[in-house]
Structure 1
Amino acid sequence: MKPMLPSLTFEVPKGEDWLYEVKYDGFRAILHWNKNEMKLESRNGKSLSELFPEIISYLETNKSKFAPFLPLTLDGELVLLENAYKANFGSIQVRGRMRSKDRIAEKATASPCRFLIFDVIELRGKTIINKQYEWRKAQLTSFFNRCSLPLQPNEDSSELIQFLPSYKSFNDVWEKVVLYDGEGIVAKQVNNKWEEGKRTTSWLKYKNWKYVTCFITAYEKSNSYFYTGVFQNEEIISIGHFIFGLKPEEKNALFKIIKDNKTEEDSRFIKVDPAICIEVKYLELYEGQMREPHFHQFRFDLKPEACTMNQFIHGQRNLPPGIEITHPNKPLWESPAIQKIDFIHYLSEISPYILPFLKDRLLTVIRYPHGVFGESFYQKSCPDYAPDFVETIMAEGIEYIVCNQLKTFLWLGNQLAFEYHIPFQTINNHKPSEIVFDLDPPSRDDFGLAVKAAGYIKEILDQLNLIGFVKTSGNKGLQIYLPLPENTYSYEETRLFTTFIANYLVSKDPDSFTIERMKKKRGDRLYIDYIQHAEGKTIIAPYSPRGTKEATVATPLYWEEVNEQLSIVDFQIPDIIQRINRIGDPFQRFFEAKANQKFGPVLDFLKNK
């Protein structure tokens, strides 16, 4: 059975008769399962069962869930989820090329793929492809509910069969796709029928294109591809080749210009010096080359020198509609050298990791209008000139910004808000969402005191079976988080615990730690500020930049990183995204830990002490 396929569109579908699904980079697959046989097949009818044994194993292990619905046929996408809106194209391609059973089994265990189901073809042996899409989706939703399976993609879930939901609002899902750098959207007409093997206009794929200005370097004779490049210093760097997007007259004109101005020709290529500037749209960079490049337009207004690797890198993520970056080349830090566009690029890439911590919190920012070269100021109240999409809430007589979306975050970035400080509770309640210990040594030279204190606290947390997370403050200390279930424990109750920890540290090492409020009496000891954890107080958000001369970031750490070699200046804006890509996000399971935090028994003990 060959699947129904979407048609590519460059225009957002108009009208009320469309629903929208996130598009993922993976392997299209159809699951056929009757009472005696299970088959996972590609769009070309080839077996995928051997390549994705974790899916087959999951289905067999949970057969009792699915048994009442057999025989069934489900349509979906096999993916390696990077986040809820993006699949990792490179990793799924590597899996697809594997042939060693041992290697496949190793990958299936270490990095299991998910099968995201977006349509149903057969249920309980009854074919339903002639039913309308909206009806099929409702049946699929009911099926997932009755099987107790996830109703949306989740990279952390152990359930490998997950539902791919549809949305009524294009803009709502598009903002998520842009935020998480997903591939795009599939728009589906509500009354479409599932048509085997047909590429249909009732399913339309609208992609999250990136745009780059580059120049032509060569023409390949055998297949009519045009090769492109950009400058890195004075060296020409190849970024890929394209054939799609050109009108016949544009293609003929471009070929003639290359032919008439060639610098070299051999049996394969006609080569030219950088001179013809164009704009190309593409999906993402893969192994140093553009994926799915399409010609967009000629750029007669540009000189080749303007087509640089730097601008190519800055264009790797799209900005949401309505966001404009002013003075992109403004210097903000000297060493490392960071311009405003670099800063905005960092905020865009770090947004999936920081926004969950800003969500539904009264926001205080510190703005640096002249970068670290000038004065800064705190801003709590939303300015009058803020755009309409900026959410606010009145509290304490102040119209606070609530940063729940990427557009607000990037608008603040364009206002040169470097630091993002948040209270310990959300706007929905007055009880803390987490406990935070702020380990603030007298100076950076005394950072070892923070490392020592963190080690002692980790020992206590382990003994009490509590889950703790640690991050740098980005300035001179460390901060330890204990996530709590929402709206459960009061500040008075958590104060019992913070007081207990503070007193324990002082008794453990009175020469290193103190709870003395007066600075002149602390000496060279680290102050354990257990009173700071209170309503109305704030803490720097995870992954927030700091207004230090080194462009440091309040960076989540793995506990094994908290040792004598740790240094605040090892975590700077230019390095954080590469760090996450390399070792992951140490706070990835922070919100999941709320439900598993066994704080109640500890609190009961302290109350009865």
Structure 2
Amino acid sequence: MSSSQSTRVGRRTLDIHRPDKVLFPASGKGKEYTKGDLVAYYQAVAPFMLPDLRGRPLMLERHPDGIDGPKFMQKNTPDHYPDWIERVEVPKEGGTVLHPVCRDAATLVYLADQACLTLHRWLSRVGRIDRPDRLVFDLDPSEGDDFTAVREAARLLGELLDKLKLPSGLMTTGSRGLHVVVPLDGRHSFDEVRDFAKQVAGVLTDAHPDRLTTEARKKERGDRLYLDVQRNAYAQTVVAPFTVRAKPGAPVAVPISWSRLDDPRLDARRWTIADAVEQGHADPWAGVMSHGRALGPARRRLDLLTG
């Protein structure tokens, strides 16, 4: 077993430690993947992933002994990280946190070498840290639910957002459900954005009370799908597009086109590090995330719809 190997990433040469270390053991749900496989994936997907990472504080999900070992959620940037990795100090209750920021492929590869499987990103960027430029709806199915309910909920939400004239992108989470992502112009506070998201979710749950819920307590949801808008708050994070999840088979959170909802094979773990890069080349979010909108006109349209 090789103890380390060097790889060239842009202008930098990085040492990858124990590239043969198994992070994802083979199982009935997928093949075996090593740290070297993880590094190669993040290096390949960097051109598609970085636009959604640059300027955003990150929380890192690390699995030094693979997915069957302990998990570490890391916000503060360790002192031993190289100085070329960008940091941002952001306020929190009682102090500050020095988050890492990923601006280049070398940072992605370095984090993969640290056994960071999943990158969780803020919905705002450095410079306007209290003004999110993304709104996220998390469609979370009930335990044991098939994916049909998730696809149907996504379709209903997408139709409502179209009526509100808000562009949106769809993404598998690599775990259980789907995310619907709305680009914003960065003028609204987190509270304003979350309140709007609650209004939208409330309209859908009122129209489909037997299928959808905004109830945060699992025991109160029954078999209804949960429309989660709680991530739209200061210092909350969501999984980044193209990030790997700590699940058997190394599934990936992948942007998809709305037409994919018609595919009966679609589920949250449809893509893995073996084939997710193809989705980047397909560019299913082409032009969507670069057109952030203000919420004022959408609020007025929502008020008209609800009468």
C-alpha distance in 2, partners of 1:588/1:443? 33
Give matches, 1:439-478, under 5 Å. 439-443=139-143, 445-478=145-178
1:345 aligns with 2:40: yes
Deviations 1:526-580 (A, max 9, x none): 1222233111111000110000112110110110101343122321110112344
Q: How far is 1:525 from its partner?
A: 1.3
Deviations 1:465-508 (A, max 9, x none): 2211000111000000110113x122233234212221122122
2:66 counterpart SS class: strand
On the 8 A contact 2:231/2:238 being kept in 1, the answer is no
On the 8 A contact 1:368/1:377 being kept in 2, the answer is yes
Residue of structure 1 in register with 2:3 after alignment: none
Q: How far is 1:607 from its partner?
A: 7.3
Q: Of the candidates 132, 140, 160, which is equivalent to residue 432 of structure 1?
A: 132
C-alpha distance in 1, partners of 2:105/2:9? 11
1:390 aligns with 2:81: no
Q: How far is 1:602 from its partner?
A: 1.4
C-alpha distance in 1, partners of 2:34/2:55? 30
Give, as a single letter, the amino acid of the residue that structure 2 aligns with 1:511. Answer: D
Give matches, 1:222-301, under 5 Å. none
C-alpha distance in 2, partners of 1:411/1:320? 13
Q: How far is 1:444 from its partner?
A: 5.6
C-alpha distance in 1, partners of 2:195/2:67? 39
1:355 aligns with 2:55: no
1:394 counterpart SS class: strand
Give matches, 1:313-352, under 5 Å. 318=9, 320-333=11-24, 334=26, 335-352=30-47
* Pair 598,485 (structure 1): closer, same or farther in 2 beyond 3 Å: closer
Residue of structure 1 in register with 2:214 after alignment: 515
Residue of structure 2 in register with 1:106 after alignment: none
Q: How far is 1:445 from its partner?
A: 3.3
Over the matched positions of the two proteins, sequence identity in percent amounts to 32
Residue of structure 2 in register with 1:592 after alignment: 290
C-alpha distance in 2, partners of 1:365/1:318? 21
On the 8 A contact 2:168/2:182 being kept in 1, the answer is yes
Tell which structure's C-alpha radius of gyration is larger. 1
C-alpha distance in 1, partners of 2:297/2:108? 38
Whichever structure has more strand as a proportion of its residues is 1
2:223 counterpart SS class: coil
Residue of structure 2 in register with 1:412 after alignment: 111
On the 8 A contact 1:444/1:476 being kept in 2, the answer is no
Q: How far is 1:322 from its partner?
A: 3.3
Q: How far is 1:591 from its partner?
A: 3.4
Segments of structure 2 that go 5 or more residues without pairing to the other structure are 1-6
On the 8 A contact 1:444/1:477 being kept in 2, the answer is no
Give, as a single letter, the amino acid of the residue that structure 2 aligns with 1:374. Answer: G
Q: Of the candidates 45, 62, 70, which is equivalent to residue 367 of structure 1?
A: 62
Residue of structure 2 in register with 1:570 after alignment: 270
Give, as a single letter, the amino acid of the residue that structure 2 aligns with 1:587. Answer: W
Give matches, 1:161-180, under 5 Å. none
Task: Tell me the TM-score normalized by structure 2.
Answer: 0.87
Segments of structure 1 that go 5 or more residues without pairing to the other structure are 1-314
Number of residues paired by the alignment?
291
Q: Of the candidates 231, 239, 258, which is equivalent to residue 532 of structure 1?
A: 231
1:351 counterpart SS class: helix
C-alpha distance in 1, partners of 2:169/2:253? 13
On the 8 A contact 1:364/1:378 being kept in 2, the answer is yes
On the 8 A contact 2:85/2:101 being kept in 1, the answer is yes
Deviations 1:208-255 (A, max 9, x none): xxxxxxxxxxxxxxxxxxxxxxxxxxxxxxxxxxxxxxxxxxxxxxxx
C-alpha distance in 2, partners of 1:495/1:327? 43
Q: Of the candidates 394, 399, 408, which is equivalent to residue 98 of structure 2?
A: 399
On the 8 A contact 1:468/1:480 being kept in 2, the answer is yes
Per chain length, whose mean CA-contact separation is higher, i.e. which structure has more relative contact order (CA < 8 Å, sep 6+)?
2
Give, as a single letter, the amino acid of the residue that structure 2 aligns with 1:367. Answer: R
1:574 counterpart SS class: coil
C-alpha distance in 2, partners of 1:382/1:491? 24
* Pair 390,600 (structure 1): closer, same or farther in 2 beyond 3 Å: same
Q: How far is 1:319 from its partner?
A: 5.5
On the 8 A contact 2:67/2:246 being kept in 1, the answer is yes
C-alpha distance in 2, partners of 1:359/1:578? 21
On the 8 A contact 2:174/2:270 being kept in 1, the answer is no
Deviations 1:58-101 (A, max 9, x none): xxxxxxxxxxxxxxxxxxxxxxxxxxxxxxxxxxxxxxxxxxxx
Q: How far is 1:351 from its partner?
A: 0.7
Q: How far is 1:455 from its partner?
A: 0.6
* Pair 457,332 (structure 1): closer, same or farther in 2 beyond 3 Å: same
* Pair 445,336 (structure 1): closer, same or farther in 2 beyond 3 Å: farther
Give, as a single letter, the amino acid of the residue that structure 1 aligns with 2:62. Answer: R
Task: Tell me the TM-score normalized by structure 1.
Answer: 0.45
1:569 counterpart SS class: coil
- Root mean square deviation, CA, Å: 2.3
On the 8 A contact 1:347/1:410 being kept in 2, the answer is yes
C-alpha distance in 1, partners of 2:67/2:10? 25
